[in-house]
Amino acid sequence: MHAARQVLRSSVLAVTRPGAPRAPPRNSAQVPRVRSRTVAMAAPGDEQTAALEAHLKGMADSGEPTLFDKIVSGDIPADVIHEDALCMAFRDIAPQAKTHFLVIPKIRAGLTQLSKANEDHKQLLGHLLYTAQAVAKQEKLDKGFRVVVNDGVEGCQSVYHLHLHVVGGQQLSWPPGC
């Protein structure tokens, strides 16, 4: 994590550092130089870099529609395996196990991270966990499964819309991600 953070930090600083010396135009007839900006993008499956990018872009508090809001609205397609009035479950596009699906609240209601939950969210949080186990049964994860909630940049959260990862269908290792 620290290596990815350092690489991204130095890349971002090199690109966005104010006051960096620029070469002046050689003559007045020369077209002014257009400043280009290199944007670091996480490779598929690189959750640490994706989480850091989301953090640096201020996605946690942006209020902008998230990828998951767009799935709920139908603007982005998903392989939905459960939907009710409060939540939706769909298959992860980059599965980390034989079975990997997400459970999300249909309305964020300020619940961008688990650490931002308050008393008003208790019923919804319980419903999300209940739905996770119900869909796990539907998916025949009878031998076991794991529920993961990534929270914040160091928890590898890259989408700031609370979501539960449910993984299973194979023997999982311990400790996860340490």
Could you tell me if 71 and 87 are in contact, meaning their C-beta atoms sit under 8 angstroms apart? no
Helix axis angle, 47-56 relative to 2-16, nearest 10°? 40
Burial class (CB in 10 A: 0-12, 13-18, 19+), 121: middle
Residue 163 bears catalytic tag: yes
d(CA 161, CA 105): 8
Catalytic residue among 100, 161, 163, 165: 163
As annotated, the active-site residues are 163
